[in-house]
Structure 1
Amino acid sequence: MSASSLPAAAPAHVLPVIVLAQFAGTSLWFAVNAVMPDLQGAWGLGPAAVGTLTSAVQLGFIAGTLVFAVLSVADRFSPRWVFLACAVAGAACNALGAHAAGSLDALLVRRFATGFFLAGIYPVGMKIAASWYPQGLGAALGWLVGALVLGTASPHLLRAVGTHWPWQQVMDAVSLLALAGGLLLAATVPDGPHLPRAARLQWRALGALWTHRPVRASAFGYFGHMWELYTFWVLVPAIVGTRLAGASASAAAFAVIALGTLGCVVGGLLVRRFGSVRVANVQLAASGLCCLLAPWMLHAPDLAFALWLAVWGTTVVGDSPQFSTLTAQNAPREAVGSLLTLVNSIGFAVSIVSIQLFAMLAARFDLAPLLPWLAVGPVLGLWMMRGLGRVR
């Protein structure tokens, strides 16, 4: 992002620090996923355990977003201190999860708690950005979601670098990264001059999902996107594992997921020329096509296999900032915060269903006939998004 595209009121360091802190904090999200082979070997867990543990984080995030919205936590307290407190708490829960002494139940509780505190990192980071960039939030949002993607991928990179580290040490390193991000943001980024108020959750706003056509279109497009996104990220290690093993597989998993950062940032820049609807639809269609091509690409030559995963990793999340932007633009002014909270909560609930279903099926069936069913989400999302370009 060029300096000329940012409001003059924002010091040059603000957006890079928020992005870096967001990256560090959201690294907690997939910390367990990066060490699952070691965890399964040490604890004797089945293949479906990865889905259960990921769903625990998703469920915690849903609970956290609803609690934070109902209590207006980021409105009653300084958002940067909320971010720091949740980074500290999330890092502690993640580190405690690394020392759960072989108890899956204890690890599930700690992963749920980690997800809960992520609700004070990812959405609150966006609120802090909004307080500095009220006119340039669309482009800033592309950077922030990109940071989420990079943070999600980072535990796989740590696993690749620390091939000989015990899995507990990898999770401890992720916790230290999240803690450092919280401290950095709290120390260097003050509350912005345009701090938006977080209205209490308006449950009646849910009705707009059905009665207001533009909101319904963007929300259900997002739900279709969420059916695919996190399940794909959960399955990436298994997909690259069909060709690679060990540190190479971890590095490849990092690269595939991290490419989503490019999709988010470039998509945010293209919005000015093509609009959010077109950018979201093109990326959703591209990722859906990648799902359908899976039976052929899994057995394709290495170059074609790598290009397929690169395109899928780039486009699977690049539409996410645009769905949030469209929902915010189309929602009734008095209910923007409530609708975004509710749409995000429903979207993450959809991801739990998808993750659990596909993790269970992946333990029983080959990936080739299974992955195309991820396209159900993009197809339904595109169907719901039809005509939205003519509305706006």
Structure 2
Amino acid sequence: MKQKNHILPIIILSQFACTSPWFAGNAIIDELTVKTGLGIEIMAYVLASVQLGFISGTLVFALFMIADRFSPSVVFMICAILAALCNLSLLSEHIGKWSLLLARFGTGFFLAGIYPVGMKIAADYYEKGLGKALGYLVGALVLGTAFPYLINGTAFGRNPDMVIKITTGFTIMGGLLMVVLVPNGPFRRPSTKLQLQSGPKLFKIVNFRKAAFGYFGHMWELYAFWAFTPLAIQTFNTLTGNTLEVFLWTGIIIMLGGISCALGGILSIRFGSYTVAFVALLASGFLCLVSPVLFSSYPVVFLGVWYVWGMAVTADSPQFSNLVASSAPAELKGTGLTLVNCIGFAITIGSIQLLSFLSNEISPEYIFMVLAIGPLFGVWQLSSRKTD
């Protein structure tokens, strides 16, 4: 069935716009530190609260099969507006520790109706070539994640409020574009009743389980890598006497991951999602293990390898989503994607908190080695059974 040419670009644009609040709090961390009186621990708290909100949201969405029972475009739009309002609350002059964490929790909760639901919408339109479509879609998520850092690295970033205002406006725009221009897809198979046992049912499917476990290994590394890249650049500057701009280079490193998602999607057409995911996991796991030597290298070497790492750490994400979606029954694709996202993001809490603890106990250049646990586990899962 021939699709309208505007569908995928609109989904991509909406996904980019609506995921921009994800790291908005981290991009203005200095201002939030002043407002709340928190110390260096605020970085882990701010991101962990978003992740916890996302986990809670995906659990609710999966349990009640929201994306499979209701129009996913409408769900996407409603969640975009609510996430935007939570994001906007960061502008309050009287924001404290708990109101900050609640605002970030709310943002994460409603992002659960954006990221996995966006993938569900794509799956409703692309029965074939889903790996390529999801490559572009997750690439948009990664670009949205990098966007606040990129704003902060420009003249706009001199006013931290602009980061929040721009990301909030983008989120509302993305939600409206989705509901107006992307109707329910031709391959959508809505569920007519609630199936509370759908989660255990899905994990009994071998291919689904292997793809999910591989994704969990990938998630152990991904968000901790993103969250602590600013610390890595700061540590490199301290050890070598360089003055690399932290937020600008962090934004660029994360942004390159968006490009690698799209590239991985294209490569999946020829080599398959399994191969792309396997190679990306292997590469990022290797870089975890050798990361300490980068902190005594030249700036061009440090940034160059961190660029490659930033691409490898994300290239497998959409391919795991394709493997998950492809192995789930049509009427449970949305639930399967949401459930796997829920568990995957729960895992990120552990790795983020572990790196936060280790950064205070050992020299920061060694903390990234523990992230290798995830890719190695993912490679083991993919090696035990090919899921393409």
| Alignment TM-score, normalising by the size of structure 1 | 0.90
Deviation for aligned residue 1:108: 0.6
Q: 2:136 aligns with which of 140, 143, 148?
A: 143
Does the aligned pair in 2 maintain the 1:200–1:338 contact within 8 Å?
no
Partner of 1:284: 281
Flag the 1:201–1:148 CA change in 2: closer, same or farther, 3 A.
Answer: farther
Deviation for aligned residue 1:293: 1.4
Counterpart Cα distance in 2 of 1:281 and 1:384 = 10
Is 1:88 matched up with 2:81? Answer: yes
Deviation for aligned residue 1:203: 3.2
Question: What SS does the corresponding residue of 2:235 show, helix, strand or coil?
Answer: coil
Deviation for aligned residue 1:338: 4.0
Counterpart Cα distance in 1 of 2:269 and 2:104 = 38
Deviation for aligned residue 1:163: 5.4
Partner of 1:122: 115
Partner of 2:355: 358
Deviation per CA, 1:172-195, whole angstroms, max 9, x where unpaired? 221111112112222333333333
Does the aligned pair in 2 maintain the 1:18–1:125 contact within 8 Å?
yes
1:91-240 aligned at under 5 Å gives the runs 91-99=84-92, 101-162=94-155, 165-198=158-191, 200-203=194-197, 205-206=199-200, 209=203, 212-240=205-233
Partner of 2:256: 259
Deviation for aligned residue 1:335: 5.2
Counterpart Cα distance in 2 of 1:82 and 1:336 = 15
Flag the 1:82–1:247 CA change in 2: closer, same or farther, 3 A.
Answer: farther
Partner of 1:21: 14
Measured on the aligned residues, the alpha-carbon RMSD in Å equals 2.3
Deviation for aligned residue 1:213: 4.0
Deviation for aligned residue 1:125: 1.5
Is 1:344 matched up with 2:337? Answer: no
Deviation for aligned residue 1:17: 1.2
Count the aligned residue pairs. Answer: 383
Partner of 1:326: 323
Deviation for aligned residue 1:272: 2.1
Partner of 2:52: 59
Question: What SS does the corresponding residue of 1:101 show, helix, strand or coil?
Answer: coil
Partner of 1:373: 370
Deviation per CA, 1:116-160, whole angstroms, max 9, x where unpaired? 111111122222222322323221111111111000110001111
Deviation per CA, 1:99-121, whole angstroms, max 9, x where unpaired? 16241101111111111111111
Deviation for aligned residue 1:168: 3.1
Letter in 1 for 2:200: L
Structure 1 range deviating more: 137-146 or 323-332 = 323-332
Structure 1 range deviating more: 69-78 or 89-98 = 69-78
Q: Which runs of 5+ in 1 are unaligned?
A: 1-6
Flag the 1:202–1:278 CA change in 2: closer, same or farther, 3 A.
Answer: farther
Q: Which runs of 5+ in 2 are unaligned?
A: none
Flag the 1:182–1:329 CA change in 2: closer, same or farther, 3 A.
Answer: closer
Flag the 1:179–1:246 CA change in 2: closer, same or farther, 3 A.
Answer: farther
Letter in 2 for 1:190: P
Partner of 2:290: 293
Flag the 1:238–1:282 CA change in 2: closer, same or farther, 3 A.
Answer: same
| Alignment TM-score, normalising by the size of structure 2 | 0.91
Letter in 1 for 2:66: V
Flag the 1:179–1:337 CA change in 2: closer, same or farther, 3 A.
Answer: closer
Counterpart Cα distance in 1 of 2:22 and 2:358 = 23
Question: What SS does the corresponding residue of 1:293 show, helix, strand or coil?
Answer: helix
Identity of aligned residues (%): 44
Deviation for aligned residue 1:355: 0.9
Flag the 1:43–1:12 CA change in 2: closer, same or farther, 3 A.
Answer: same
Q: 1:272 aligns with which of 263, 269, 272?
A: 269
Does the aligned pair in 2 maintain the 1:39–1:167 contact within 8 Å?
no
Flag the 1:69–1:208 CA change in 2: closer, same or farther, 3 A.
Answer: closer
Does the aligned pair in 1 maintain the 2:289–2:369 contact within 8 Å?
yes
Q: 1:50 aligns with which of 36, 40, 43?
A: 43
Structure 1 range deviating more: 369-378 or 94-103 = 94-103
Counterpart Cα distance in 1 of 2:308 and 2:19 = 23
Deviation per CA, 1:43-68, whole angstroms, max 9, x where unpaired? 33222221122111111112212222
Counterpart Cα distance in 2 of 1:312 and 1:184 = 33
Does the aligned pair in 2 maintain the 1:202–1:338 contact within 8 Å?
no
Deviation for aligned residue 1:284: 0.4
Deviation for aligned residue 1:364: 3.8
Counterpart Cα distance in 2 of 1:74 and 1:328 = 13
Partner of 1:4: none
Counterpart Cα distance in 1 of 2:361 and 2:92 = 30
Is 1:303 matched up with 2:303? Answer: no
